[in-house]
Amino acid sequence: MQNKESTFQQVKSSTEAADRKAQSLLDSARDEVVRLKQIVDATRKSLD
């Protein structure tokens, strides 16, 4: 039973770490989209 609990904790820990990594990547992607949108808006204004 101890082994099962240990395995569960390892899986839980790995899942939480992967979740944090995914959230970090999502935040970075969101920041990049905002940055690119600003570039597109600035480019549009300069073409007008």
| Distance, CA of 29 to CA of 8 (rounded, Å) | 31
Is the pTM higher than 0.85? The answer reads no
Tell me the HSE value of 45 on the side-chain side, using a 13 A CA sphere: 6
Q: Which two tokens stand for residue 42?
A: 């600035």
Per-residue pLDDT tens over the stretch 7-37? 999 999 999 999 999 999 999 999 999 999 9
Contacts 24+ apart (CB under 8 A), 21-27: none
pLDDT exceeds 90 at position 2: no
